[in-house]
Amino acid sequence: MDDKTSSLRQSFGELIEKVKSSDEIEQLRVEFLGKKGHVSALMSQLKTVPNEQKKAFGQSVNQLKQEIEGQLKEAHDRIAALEEQRLINSAEDYDVTLPMDIDTGSYHPITLVMREIEEIFRSMGFTVEDFSEITDDYNCFEALNIPKHHPARDMQDTYYLSSGQLLKTHTSAAQNSIMKKYGAPLRAIFPGRCFRNESTDACHETTFFQVEGIMIDEDISISNLIYFMKTMLSEVFGKDVTVRLRPGFFPFVEPGFELDIQCLICGGEGCPSCKNSGWLELCPCGMIHPNVLKYGGIDSEKYTGFAFGLGLTRLAMMQYEIKDIRTLNSGNLKALSQFKGK
């Protein structure tokens, strides 16, 4: 009987030395320790063993079983370590510079332009702020010097929610809370999505993006406003663009202006994007009304400031020569995936 135990031990010892994979280890385990394996077969011979040798026999088979288990475990650890090393080596062989042949995603034109504007203003010392799309009457109107029943409210067809709140119609809705948060002096831009309940055409959408900017300090004047607008637009378009300033009325600025840019799609000749006028309203702006500074907790005797509300959607259309504003919200991947970034 002892002979059988030791020959089993020997043949297992030879086989376990040669295993090269976890599958082979598993095969060995089944062959030796499985229900129909060699060790079970040996154990089943216990009944043929004379009584006085039964104990010793049982012990030696059990010991063999434990030895086999131990060696299987060792082999398993050894192979696992080898496989890990093989994986590391193959990762090192991986050439990250090889061209990919899979389709990559693309950024939305609005995202691309928004990032560009953010970078330009950051470099001029502005912070970039965030503001929620749902706001209230105070932030969107009252704090901007637009009291109830003021005719200026009609200019913005507002979506009201059943809670009494509303979807912000312009990014100016964030002015008050940002003034309260930081006080003066202050340089901030806040891009955001705006909503207006109006009929859509090639240049009007119910949902569009603006970037609001405010700069408040001692002695800020209209020339600061013009300087920042010009710098920003020439950076964005990479060339001198033709602009014009017209008087514009907004209750929260005094004086207020409309900054128009000559249509880059038709070069000023007239097309549907510019309603055949050759010009596009791009950036209403002006000097912040003293009341608005006061509501924002800023001393209007000491500080002045300018504000602008850049039409980001318009800007993206100009930059990428998108003729119809509705393309931007269409989810038309064929159209949108052309803009992979510059």
Q: Binding residues for ligand PHE, per CB under 6 A?
A: 170, 172, 250, 253, 256, 284-286, 307-309
- In degrees rounded to 5, what are phi and psi of residue 104? -100, 160
- Residue 71 or 176 having the CB closest to ligand PHE: 176
From the CB of 340, what's the least distance to ligand PHE, in Å?
Answer: 30
Which residues touch 13 (CB under 8 Å, ≥6 apart)? 71
- Residue 1 or 152 having the CB closest to ligand PHE: 152
Quote the CA–CA distance of 175 and 292 in Å, as a whole number: 9
From the CB of 171, what's the least distance to ligand PHE, in Å?
Answer: 7
- Residue 209 or 308 having the CB closest to ligand PHE: 308
From the CB of 280, what's the least distance to ligand PHE, in Å?
Answer: 15
From the CB of 317, what's the least distance to ligand PHE, in Å?
Answer: 17
Quote the CA–CA distance of 6 and 138 in Å, as a whole number: 91
3-class secondary-structure state, position 304: strand
Residue 142 near residue 175 (C-beta atoms within 8 A):
no
- Residue 25 or 253 having the CB closest to ligand PHE: 253
From the CB of 175, what's the least distance to ligand PHE, in Å?
Answer: 8
Question: CB-hemisphere CA count at 13 Å for 217?
Answer: 12
How many residues are present in the chain? 342
**Which residue's C-beta sits nearest to ligand PHE?**
309
State which amino acid sits at residue 149.
H
Quote the CA–CA distance of 39 and 45 in Å, as a whole number: 10
- Residue 72 or 307 having the CB closest to ligand PHE: 307
